[in-house]
């Protein structure tokens, strides 16, 4: 296991700033995700760590070693690409062995290590198959075995599950996490899929326009985003503009179109003032629907759109001033709603006040 430290990393492509003074430390054995929209710089950062992308300013350390000028083949990283980059004219075993042959490992040792790598991804006995004879999920496992067989210091993954169907993506999420933990690997994983990141990561960084907007554990990033961008990117949310009427430690009350709502202060370095404006972020699943009133942070309304998703009901809840998105687990109001409408309420802990 090795730590990875990035100091003030900068990269331009012409006039475009791909990386803008990135500072980041990834702990030994950590599964760390780089998350963000297309063009935010996450793949450029990953390729810089691998050595495929020359940096302009800043330094990259593997442990105590400065690898900023070290060529890719001497960094001892295993990389898994979105396209898998497998050789179609070679067998499974030959594809996995490619990196070992480049390193002049003996034929006997290569055969042993290839067999172990294939066993680790549950591909025993398939070394003689051609790549075109494999399913998408099996090809993904071969690419992972090829990255592992060289016994890398760290594993770098660039959207490795994007070409798989939903069932296989779910299966391989668990497999990748299992393998990283089993081999004690430091892993850096690039994706734009929030669910993928939330289900696998130990920590993650959300990037935008070449900058890191927030770093934290999955639950922290999802439940306590520090900005509108992070809150919006990490999943659906209801945004309400409010005017702050009181502040008490981390508690805040804001006047909104739905009335006065009590919530929790968010936003690093933000100093809200009474009378100032704020943005309230409330996740759809945080609302609770009831037939009777009498709860804090409550608003009356009606369901104007209902979508049944099995275990979840997806609703549009129309009030006199706003239309809210609400998710209900084990939905009760898919078929019908009370004639007098419903009441939606939310706990203050789930109302996050952010800078506007």
Of 2.40.10.220, 2.30.30.100, 2.40.50.100, 2.30.110.10, the CATH number of 236-354 is 2.40.50.100
Outline where the chain has alpha helix (H).
Answer: 42-50, 92-102, 107-120, 136-149, 166-183, 194-200, 218-223, 228-233
Two domains, one topology: 4-228 and 236-354: no
**Long-range CB contact pairs, 14-20, < 8 A, 24+:** 17/209, 17/210, 18/44, 18/210, 19/44, 19/45, 19/48, 19/55, 19/210, 20/209, 20/210, 20/211
Pairing relation of β-strands 154-158 and 186-191?
A: parallel
Q: How far apart are CA 172 and CA 315, in angstroms?
A: 31
Beta carbons of 157 and 42 less than 8 angstroms apart: no
The structural domains of the chain, with segments of one domain joined by +, span 4-228, 236-354
Contact call for residues 297 and 339 (beta carbons, < 8 A): no
Question: In the CATH hierarchy, which fold is given to the domain comprising 4-228?
Answer: Rossmann fold (3.40.50)
Structural tokens at position 41: 């710089």
**Tokens standing for 197?**
């990141």
| Lookup: tokens for 33 | 């995700």
Which two three-digit tokens encode residue 248? 């008490």
pLDDT for res 48: 95
> Are 251 and 348 spatial neighbours (Cβ–Cβ below 8 Å)?
yes
- Residue 192's pLDDT is 86
Enumerate residues 6+ apart whose C-beta is below 8 A from 86: 95, 131, 139, 142, 143, 146
0.85 surpassed by pTM? yes
**Per-residue model confidence (pLDDT) at position 164:** 74
Q: pLDDT value at position 169?
A: 80
Q: Collect the ranges in the chain with pLDDT lower than 50.
A: none
The two tokens of residue 183 are 């081999």
């Amino acid at each position: 296991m090795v730590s990875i430290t990035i100091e003030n990393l900068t990269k331009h492509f012409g006039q475009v700033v791909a990386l803008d003074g990135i500072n980041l430390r990834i702990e030994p054995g950590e599964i760390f995700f780089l998350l963000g929209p297309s063009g935010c710089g996450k793949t450029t950062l990953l390729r810089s760590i691998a050595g495929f992308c020359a940096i302009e300013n800043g330094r990259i350390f593997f442990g105590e070693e400065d690898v900023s000028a070290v060529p890719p083949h001497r960094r001892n990283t295993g990389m898994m690409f979105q396209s898998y980059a497998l050789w179609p004219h070679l067998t499974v075993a030959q594809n996995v062995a490619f990196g070992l042959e480049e390193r002049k490992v003996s034929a006997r040792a290569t055969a042993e290590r290839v067999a172990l790598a294939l066993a680790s991804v549950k591909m025993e006995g398939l070394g003689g198959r051609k790549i075109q004879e494999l399913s998408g999920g099996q090809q993904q496992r071969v690419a992972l075995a090829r990255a592992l067989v060289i016994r890398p210091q760290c594993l770098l993954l660039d959207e490795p599950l994007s070409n798989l169907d939903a069932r296989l993506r779910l299966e391989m999420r668990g497999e990748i996490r299992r393998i990283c933990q089993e081999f004690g690997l430091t892993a850096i994983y690039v994706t734009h899929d929030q669910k993928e990141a939330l289900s696998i990561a130990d920590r993650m960084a959300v990037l935008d326009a070449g900058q890191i907007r927030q770093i934290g554990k999955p639950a922290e990033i999802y439940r306590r985003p520090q900005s509108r961008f992070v809150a919006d990117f990490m999943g659906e949310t209801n945004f309400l503009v409010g005017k702050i009427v009181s502040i008490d430690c981390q508690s805040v009350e804001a006047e909104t179109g739905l009335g006065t709502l009590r919530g929790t202060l968010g936003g690093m370095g933000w100093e809200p003032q009474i009378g100032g404006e704020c943005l309230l972020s409330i996740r759809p699943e945080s609302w609770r629907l009831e037939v009777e009133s009498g709860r804090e942070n409550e608003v009356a309304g009606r369901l104007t759109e209902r979508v049944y998703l099995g275990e979840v009901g997806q609703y549009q809840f129309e009030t006199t001033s706003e239309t809210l998105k609400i998710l209900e687990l084990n939905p009760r109001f898919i078929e019908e709603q009370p004639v007098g409408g419903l009441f939606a309420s939310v706990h203050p802990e789930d109302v996050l006040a952010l800078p506007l």
